[in-house]
Structure 1
Amino acid sequence: MVFSRGSSFFKLGMLSIMMLMIISLKSAYAQLDLSNEILESLRSGQAKNISKHFNTNVSLSLKNDAGFYSKFQGEMILSDFFRSNRISEVKLIQRTNKSNNSYYMVCQLKANHKGYRVFVKFNILDGESKITELRIE
């Protein structure tokens, strides 16, 4: 069977390829958009905006304290960090592309004249990006 440009098989194949490209671009844009939202929330010290993207349970490490917390507990711990640390600068250092249903971003954060490294890991769960790990060291 020959697939010529006018055949319905060719048209169906091209349509399928275009749909896959659109889905891939949409996913990449959503990933970039969420990373930008997290960056802005870090800059403004908005724990609630960050925690709304937490998975049901999240691994948190802030300074020297680390643990596995519920979404609500994670928000409270992050709020305490922002309350006691005035954020003056946040700079994106690295962001990876989605691979094996996860990706991460690394930032440099300055607060109270101290420098911190921020690591945020996202997992794709049920088609949605969720923060499963957040470290501020």
Structure 2
Amino acid sequence: MKSLKYILLFCLSLVFFSETHAQKETIDDVKNAIKSGSSKEVSKHFDANVDVTIDSDIQTYSKIQAEYVFKDFFKNNPPTSFTIVHQGSSKGGLPYAIGQYISNGQTFRVWMRIKSSGERYLINEISFIKE
């Protein structure tokens, strides 16, 4: 009976680790895509529809439309640097990350919320707010 308990505990820890690893991997991939100013790479991690806030303009876009919005944003605000300053999960368990994007001396606070979609984690909300 004890061995069954340990096997169950081991299996649960593997599931938790793989979910945590997949979340971290998604955040790392998005971080690298933002750092390089690649709208195409960022959009690979968008949900089918994504809420995008740039400064105070809040819109819901399809994945393809959001890619063009970010292409324009990166063109007008090429990245100097991007770092993740905090990441965690909401009370409801949704992972999120907060970052700092610097372009031409301007600083943007970046916030993204990620949700599980099958075996993947996808961004369903992302904001770039000028500080």
TM-score greater than 0.5 by the shorter chain: yes
Could you list the per-position Cα deviations for residues 80-112 of structure 1 after superposition, in whole angstroms to 9, with x for gaps in the alignment? 101111110112111013753411101111001
Q: Which one has a bigger Cα radius of gyration?
A: 1
Contact 1:101 1:123 in 2 (8 A): no
Residue number in structure 1 paired with 2:128: 136
1:43 aligned partner, one-letter code: K
Instruction: Give the TM-score taking structure 2 as reference length.
Output: 0.90
TM-score normalised by structure 1 residue count: 0.87
1:74 corresponds in structure 2 to 66
* Root-mean-square deviation (Å): 1.5
Superimposed CA distance per residue, residues 5-45 of structure 1 (whole angstroms, 9 cap, x where no aligned partner): xxxx3222211110111111111111111111111111100
**SS of residue matched to 1:96:** strand
Letter in 1 for 2:101: L
More relative contact order in 1 or in 2 (CA 8 Å, sep 6+)? 2
Q: Structure 1: which 5+ runs fail to align?
A: 1-8
In structure 1, the residue matched to 2:9 is 17
Aligned to 1:30: 22
- The answer for the alignment partner of 2:99 in structure 1 is 107
Return the match for 1:42 from 20, 34, 50.
34
- 1:54-133 map, 5 Å: 54-97=46-89, 100-133=92-125
Q: Which runs of 5+ in 2 are unaligned?
A: none
How many residue pairs were aligned? 129
